[in-house]
Amino acid sequence: MIYITLLVLLVGIELLYFKIADRYNIIDKPNSRSSHSTITLRGGGIIFPIAISIAFFLGSVSWELTLAVLIVAVVSFIDDIKPLSQLPRFASHVIAVGLVFYDLNLFVESLWLLPIVFVLLIGWVNAFNFMDGINGITVLYALTAIISFSFLPTQVSSLPLLITMGLSCVAFGIFNVRKKAKTFAGDVGSISMALFLGYFMIKTILDTKQLGYILFFSVYGIDAVITILNRIKKRENIFQPHRSHLYQYLANEMGFSHVLISVIYAGVQLLINGLIIYMDNQGILSGLFVLELLLTLTLVYLLLRALIVRKVNKIRL
């Protein structure tokens, strides 16, 4: 009953935010780089940091993780309203990662490990933000990760927090997973959710001693990394908006439904996650298998991307 009440509360908060966003003109105007064609309310993802704040008052989450999410959320929300320079955004990420490290007691680990985890977490947060480009993709992918973490025996104590964040995804998804979205997550939503998921990835690996769980983020990770490498090869500014992710080609040039693409991305990731959980439960999840699966997924992605790009180039001609 408490979770039904919480869902109703979160939906109500989202509706209240829409009135505020409409009043203060917090909108996303389409441009040549956009995958949408109509003006849409921005920042609906503010429900994610609000949800973690509620979880904190309910005693379901530490103050360190709550503060970390709120710091990046506040800076990102300001950036959604009035673009900021790189410095305050990066500074908020560094502080937030430091809080995550403190929460997970990582500062007692080997010194060589800290910069690696730091780079990976910062990279994940930015990659997740870059992937937020079509209706439904961010919230469905986040919900897939949250559901997957919830099935892990090591995360039983975190279930109330995971359920709360999952309900925030449902509340946001009601208005985002549709042909014409009522709202977009904005940086406030994508970055705060990315940090939250990154926290649980690190926690899961520490709890299980199994690096293979990093494949929970493989679909996003492969698309983001390959796209960045392609842009570097073309000498493009990787921090500038673009339309060269595979999902963007599918949505913009190929004309596939945003929601369909988002469901496919989330569905493929859910299948991978289910396989990883099953193999670990059977005690057969080896480093070699993880590497082979990652290479296979990357190869499939490259072949599919090459095919789609070839078709896109023919359409443009």
Could you tell me which of 124, 219, 162 has the C-alpha nearest to residue 48?
162
Strand partners, 302: none
Known binding-site positions? 129, 187
Distance separating alpha carbons of residues 223 and 18, to the nearest angstrom: 31
Q: Which residue has the tokens 């490290």?
A: 101
Phi and psi torsions of 126, nearest 5°: -70, -35
Structure tokens at 153: 């025996």
Confirm if 169 and 139 have CB atoms less than 8 A apart.
yes
Q: Which residue has the tokens 């300001």?
A: 78
Known binding-site positions for Mg(2+)? 129, 187
